[in-house]
Amino acid sequence: MEPYRIYGSNASPYSRKLRAILRYRRLPHLWVVGTPETLPEIAQVRPRLVPVLRVPDSGEFRVDSTPLADWLEQRHPGVRSIIPEDPGDAFVCYLIEDFADEWVNKAMFHYRWHEDATAQWACHWIMYDVMAHAAGPAHDQAARFFHDRQRSRMAMVGCTPENALVIEAGYARLLAILAPYVGSTRYLFGSRPSLADFALYGQLAQLTFDPWPQRICRERAPAVEAWVIHLDDASGVEGQWQPQAGAAVREALLEMIGSEYLPFLRANAAALASGAQRLELDIRGRRYAQAPSAYQGKCYAQLKQRWLALDAQQQARLRPLLARTGCLSAFDDG
């Protein structure tokens, strides 16, 4: 079989997420470092995102890590699936995955670009990664441009000084939830990794590498960094779906989602519906504000569709858990 080609960046959580999925599922692939700005072969791909996956037989290009993961499930059914077999567990898996992709990402972006020292380190590392041919003044110019562009985008994704305490408290809470549980044979739904594990891995692969958040992780939760290193290549992992094994950590994550991420999604949806230029809400007693996001509006709609796709029995089984964790109202509000 001709291998897939995955174009991405080591500094992209979504690239690392998809690469780890391909590795775990033992799907032949080549890892090509670069972006639409630096690689001519993907310059025409829209939207201009990484990762980009080139399909072997058709030569088509696909983007967006969550649709790509779903598409790979359909294309390679039964080959070390990353979606739990039980439909209710699968819904929880997608909910945690979305939280990682869209909310934990704020911590990744904040810790990478808020502090001057880490931001300076990051822009040079990223340019060495995706523009290895550039050197001297060309490298420095590219690094400065990327630094300035990323910092200019911080407010757009909610990474402002006013939101810093909410974001930093969330990172600390996530580490505290994961640290007592994760390990080389312990994942969120048993002894094999799920899509939710890989989404958390993608963000944490950055947070445990960038100097500032890495220091925090090593001080508070070194087991999390070890778990991330292990999950980078889980091609040798053999395990089973054992939902009860991870019930406590999933419930703790769902409480975080119900208290932080879903209230944000609801406020974002309301702002999009009204045409507001700014959304504001309280998150654990602190004010959080940013411009609304159309993409995250789509994420919320897709989560609600997944909930509605569950049959009555599956919904009934999940309701007590979602109610305890503050998640249920986000799906039962019509």
Same domain, 119 and 105: no
Average pLDDT over residues 10-20: 98
Q: Is residue 81 part of a domain?
A: no
Flag the least confident range among 60-74, 126-140, 218-232: 126-140
Same domain, 322 and 186: yes
Secondary structure (H, E, C), 83-118:
CCCCHHHHHHHHHHHHHHHHHHHHHHHHHHHCCHHH
Q: Is residue 195 part of a domain?
A: yes
Q: How confident is the prediction for the chain on average, in pLDDT?
A: 96
Average pLDDT over residues 145-164: 97
Average pLDDT over residues 259-286: 98
Q: Are 215 and 263 in contact (CB under 8 A)?
A: no
Q: Is residue 322 part of a domain?
A: yes
CATH of the domain at 52: 3.40.30.10
Same domain, 139 and 222: no
The rounded distance, in Å, linking the Cα atoms of 178 and 107 is 16
Q: pLDDT (tens digit, 9 = 90+) per residue, 283-313?
A: 999 999 999 999 999 999 999 999 999 999 9
SS3 category, 279: strand
pLDDT at site 266: 98
Same domain, 104 and 119: no
Q: Does the structure show a pLDDT above 70 at 334? A: no
Same domain, 63 and 140: no
Flag the least confident range among 125-134, 214-223, 294-303, 306-315: 125-134
pLDDT at site 170: 98
Same domain, 191 and 318: yes
User: Domain boundary residue among 104, 138, 153?
Assistant: 153
Q: pLDDT (tens digit, 9 = 90+) per residue, 187-201?
A: 999 999 999 999 999
Q: Is residue 82 part of a domain?
A: no
* φ, ψ at 82 (rounded to 5°): -110, 10
Residue 131 pLDDT grade (very low, low, confident, very high; cuts 50, 70, 90): confident
pLDDT at site 86: 97
Flag the least confident range among 12-16, 85-89, 131-135, 236-240: 131-135
Domain that holds residue 137: 115-153
The rounded distance, in Å, linking the Cα atoms of 192 and 205 is 18
Q: Any residues with CB less than 8 A from the CB of 30 and at least 6 apart, and which?
A: 3, 4, 5, 6
Residue 132 pLDDT grade (very low, low, confident, very high; cuts 50, 70, 90): confident
Give the CA distances from residue 156 to residues 16, 124, 149, 151, in Å, rounded to whole numbers and listed in that order.
23, 23, 12, 10
Same domain, 9 and 96: no
SS3 category, 252: helix
Per the structure, the count of domains in the chain is 3
Q: Which of 9, 46, 290, 296 is nearest to 146 (CA)?
A: 9
> Which uninterrupted H or E stretch holds 283?
strand 279-283
Q: What is the DSSP string of 176-219?
A: HHHTTT-BTTBBTTBSS--HHHHHHHHHHHHHTTSHHHHHHHHH
Share of the chain above pLDDT 70, in %: 99
Q: Is residue 311 part of a domain?
A: yes
Q: Is residue 276 part of a domain?
A: yes
Q: Are 261 and 105 in contact (CB under 8 A)?
A: no
115, burial (CB in 10 Å: exposed 0-12, middle 13-18, buried 19+): middle
pTM summary value: 0.97
Kindly report whether the peptide bond that precedes residue 47 is cis, defined as omega within 30 degrees of 0.
yes
Same domain, 292 and 145: no
